[in-house]
């Protein structure tokens, strides 16, 4: 029983990172209808930023949590302004294709910037683990879990209840209606990409001490984030968080009790099952049909 509890705690830790990355994808898609395949590259950028700030520059760890998400958010806005803004005036399909290559470009840019296969980042918390009977829980597990979920809750609160989020919700509901109400598409899209990029930056900072920093992080994260978003429902913010937690726990249980190879397969198995049973996602909002 104690082993199961420790495995579940580890799964929730990984799942909370997936939840952050998936939430960024859902926020951008919900407000702009763009599927952002560059989210993994933005997560990698956040993780590499954590390495530069903490290991190379030796800045206080807390500054990484304050500065890096803002930097990654600004990079996301720059991508939207420079690359995607003109493209989205036509069909959205080229925009989606562009995000795929932007994600590859961010990953390859990292690969060219360092010769190391993987960069390690020290843990934010280095105190002794908590021991409850035969259950051992490290402070890092608690910090990553609660910190990532707190960042996700803040992102949801901004979108659902903040003044900034009001324009995003209006654009998500009806683009033409939002324009008639005085909202600028360019401004709202810029704010949305900043929020989605900031969430990716937080995911990168939280995942850096857990998995290290490597070029494979981008692909692994974006794949898991998309599966989590589909499981929860691609238009549900709460569903993105729940989907990330479900995926993280499922992967950890599969790796512990079946095989390490099953860890990669379980995400796609979950995806196929959800699409077969409930294609709209487990937590998709109910659509009210007007008469």
* Residues 162-171: tens digit of each pLDDT: 888 888 888 8
Is 287 among the domain residues?
no
pLDDT, residue 102, reads 94
pLDDT at 287 (0 to 100): 59
Residue 86 located in a structural domain: yes
Question: Is 108 within a domain?
Answer: yes
Whole-number Å distance between alpha carbons of 32 and 226: 17
d(CA 219, CA 138): 27
**CB neighbourhood size of 37 (10 A):** 20
Angle subtended at Cα 211 by Cα 213 and Cα 198, rounded to the nearest 5 degrees:
65
In a domain, 245, yes or no: no
Domain annotation covers residue 38? yes
* In a domain? residue 258: no
Please check whether residue 280 lies inside any domain of the structure.
Answer: no
Structure tokens at 205: 């900072």
Residue ranges, the chain, pLDDT below 70: 90, 286-291
Name the residue range of residue 103's domain: 2-215
Contact 34, 99 (CB under 8 A): yes
Torsion of CA 201, 207, 213, 216, to 10 degrees: -90
Q: State residue 123's pLDDT score.
A: 86
Buried b (16+ CB within 10 A) or exposed e, 153-170: eebbebbeebeebbbbbb
Six-digit token string for 149: 């979920």
Res 288: pLDDT: 45
Whole-model pTM: value is 0.92
Rg (CA), the chain: 19
Question: Are 37 and 222 contacting, i.e. CB atoms less than 8 angstroms apart?
Answer: yes
Position 290 scores a pLDDT of 39
Contacts of residue 101, Cβ cutoff 8 Å, sequence gap at least 6:
none
Short-list 163, 144, 165, 133, CA closest to 30: 165
Domains in the chain, number: 1
Q: Is the residue at 192 inside a domain?
A: yes
């Amino acid at each position: 029983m104690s082993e199961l509890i420790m495995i579940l705690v580890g799964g929730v830790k990984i799942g909370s990172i997936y939840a952050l990355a998936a939430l960024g994808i859902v926020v951008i898609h919900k407000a702009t209808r763009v599927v952002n395949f560059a989210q993994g590259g933005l997560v990698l950028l956040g993780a590499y930023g954590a390495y530069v700030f903490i290991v190379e520059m030796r800045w206080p760890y807390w500054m990484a949590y304050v500065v890096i998400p803002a930097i990654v958010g600004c990079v996301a806005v720059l991508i939207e302004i420079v690359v995607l803004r003109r493209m989205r005036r036509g069909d959205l399909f080229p925009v989606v294709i562009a995000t795929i290559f932007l994600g590859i470009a961010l990953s390859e840019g990292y690969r060219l910037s360092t010769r190391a296969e993987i960069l390690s980042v020290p843990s934010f918390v280095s105190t002794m683990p908590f021991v409850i009977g035969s259950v051992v829980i490290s402070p890092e597990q608690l910090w990553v879990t609660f910190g990532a979920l707190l960042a996700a809750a803040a992102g949801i609160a901004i979108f659902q209840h903040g003044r900034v989020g009001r324009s995003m919700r209006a654009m998500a509901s009806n683009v033409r209606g939002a324009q008639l109400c005085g909202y600028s598409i360019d401004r709202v899209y810029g704010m949305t990409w900043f929020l989605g990029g900031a969430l990716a930056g937080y995911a990168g900072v939280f995942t850096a001490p857990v998995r290290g920093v490597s070029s494979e992080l981008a692909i692994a994260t974006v794949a898991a984030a998309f599966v989590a978003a589909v499981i929860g429902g691609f238009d549900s913010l709460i569903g993105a968080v729940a989907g990330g937690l479900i995926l993280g726990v499922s992967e950890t249980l599969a790796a512990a009790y079946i095989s390490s190879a099953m860890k990669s397969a379980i995400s796609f198995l979950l995806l196929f099952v959800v699409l077969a049973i409930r294609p709209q996602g487990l937590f998709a909002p109910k659509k009210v049909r007007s008469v």
